[in-house]
Amino acid sequence: MGIFDFLTGEFIDVIHWTDDSRDTMVWRFEREGHEIKYGAKLTVREGQAAVFIHEGQLADVFTPGLYMLETNNMPVLTTLNHWDHGFRSPFKSEIYFVNTTRFSNLKWGTKNPVMLRDPEFGPTRLRAFGTYTVRVADPARFLAEIVGTDGEFTMDEISYQIRNIIVQAFSRIIAGAGIPVLDMAANTADLGKLVASEISVVVAEYGLTIPEFYIENISLPPAVEAALDKRTSMGLAGDLGKFTQYSAAEAMTAASKNPSGGAGIGAGLGMGMGMAMAQQLHPQGPRGTAPASSEAAAPPPPPPVEHVWHIAEKGETHGPYSRAAMGRMAADGTLSRTAHVWTAGQDGWQRAEDVAELAQLFTVLPPPPPED
Rounded distance, CA 132 to CA 158, Å?
13
Residue 288 CA, distance from chain mean position: 55
Task: Give dist(CA 341, CA 335) in Å, integer.
Answer: 10
Higher pLDDT, 132 or 302: 132
- Of the CA atoms within 13 Å of residue 164, those in its CB half-sphere come to 4
* Alpha helices, H only, 11-155: 75-81, 139-142
- State mean pLDDT over 360-369: 66
Per DSSP, the three-state class of 115 is: strand
Domain 309-362 has CATH 3.30.1490: yes
User: Looking at residue 26, what is its pLDDT?
Assistant: 92
DSSP symbol at 220? -
Q: Percentages helix, strand, coil for the chain, rounded to the nearest 5?
A: 40, 25, 35
In this structure, are strands 208-219 and 152-154 parallel, antiparallel, or unpaired? unpaired
Strand spans (E) along 233-339: 309-313, 316-321
| Residue among 12, 149, 147, 67 at smallest CA distance from 77 | 67
Q: Which of 3-17, 29-43, 87-101 has the lowest mean pLDDT?
A: 3-17
Helices (H) and strands (E) in the chain, counts: 11, 18
Higher pLDDT, 284 or 8: 284
Dump pLDDT digits (tens) for 209-228.
999 999 998 888 887 778 77
- What is the Cα gyration radius of the chain? 43
Q: Which stretches does DSSP call E strand in the chain?
A: 14-15, 24-29, 35-36, 41-44, 48-54, 57-62, 65-68, 91-92, 94-99, 103-109, 114-118, 122-136, 152-154, 208-219, 309-313, 316-321, 340-342, 350-351
Residue 11, pLDDT above cutoff 50? no
- Type of residue found at 14: V
CATH, domain 103-225, list 3.10.129.10, 3.30.479.30, 3.30.1050.10, 3.40.50.2300: 3.30.479.30
- Count of C-beta atoms within a 10 Å radius of residue 104: 13
Q: Answer whether 0.75 is exceeded by the pTM.
A: no
CB-CB contact of 68 with 117 (8 Å) = no
Q: What pLDDT digit, counting tens, does each position of 163-188 carry?
A: 999 999 999 888 888 888 878 888 88
